[in-house]
Amino acid sequence: MRKFLMLIFSVVLIFCFTACADKNNSGGNSELPKSTEISQNSSTTESKSSSENSENSSSTTKESSSVNSEISAPSSSTTTESETSSVTSSTSSSTADAPVSEPAEDGVKILVAYFSATNNTEGIAQKLADGLGADLYEITPEQPYTSADLDYGNSKSRSSVEMNDPSARPAISGSVENMEQYDVVLVGYPIWWGDAPRIMSTFIESYDFSGKTLAAFCTSASSGFGNSDSALRSAASGAVWLKGQRFSAGASADDVMKWANGLGVN
């Protein structure tokens, strides 16, 4: 009887032991051992640490690169300024050593000088000056001419007396300043008795026109240019005289400039 109970007890123990063992094995499959969890946590931590280190390293590298870039920028600027300074210094030195050249001479200087008793010649002179970009000078008699002075039908009028005397030289009020500066002088006048008024001879004889280029223009109601400038040419024989031209009082600017441009002085 005792043996039988001991046998049953042994079977129960074996059965309990087996059941416990199965339970432990089943639980081991559902959860990882603590050591495994620790290992995973450690791996995760290391991974996170590695990632953080990588990010920190990248951040540090970027910051370092940025700092280096910021530091190097002034260095580049300094070099540029230094090079610029060197170039400027070289240029200044070159400029200082180079001889100072005289300013280039201006283009041809032209003067339009005219006598106009009744303003007919003045209009032509103004058109010439405007078209050529020339200076304008009015030859003004010291004693102005009156209507009576210009009475061509009266042999005793002032103009009649002057034109009948080749040596007459009516005085001029004022003068051209710095006549030397002009290369070309165009002289204008009305036709009196087929000639230039004597006051034009006064003007021509008042200056040295040697080496200058001269040309005469005149106005008249019907008379042509003729030899009206012959006395003027004789008085300034050292000048180069070009062919003169007669205009009507109402000549257009185009007609006036056609002659002027044909002279080839501008």
In whole angstroms, what is the distance from residue 184 CA to residue 211 CA? Answer: 10
Name the band, by pLDDT with cuts 50, 70 and 90, for residue 11: low
In a domain, 220, yes or no: yes
Task: Report d(CA 4, CA 133) in Å as an integer.
Answer: 151
The CATH number given to whatever domain includes residue 238 is: 3.40.50.360
Q: How far is the C-alpha of 108 from the C-alpha of 95, rounded, in Å?
A: 31
Mean pLDDT lowest among 45-59, 70-84, 171-185, 243-257: 70-84
Q: How confident is the model at residue 227 (pLDDT cuts 50, 70, 90)?
A: very high
pTM of the model: 0.61
Amino acid 15: pLDDT: 61
How would you class 247 by CB atoms within 10 Å of its CB: exposed for 0-12, middle for 13-18, buried for 19 or more?
Answer: buried
Residue 199: both structure tokens together: 């006051």
DSSP string, 145-181: PPTTTT-TT-TTSHHHHHHT-TT----EES--TTGGG
Residue 204 lies inside a defined structural domain of this protein: yes
Q: Containing domain of residue 126, as a range?
A: 110-263
Distance CA 220, CA 49 (A): 113
User: How far apart, in whole angstroms, are the C-alpha atoms of residue 175 and residue 206?
Assistant: 9
Say if residue 75's pLDDT is above 80.
no
As a whole number, mean pLDDT of residues 182-195 equals 97
Is pLDDT at 46 greater than 60 in this prediction? no
Which segment of 96-100, 125-129, 159-163, 211-215 scores lowest on mean pLDDT? 96-100
Domain count within the chain: 1
Determine, yes or no, domain membership for 34: no
Distance CA 21, CA 123 (A): 137
147, part of any domain: yes
47 or 168: whose pLDDT is higher?
168
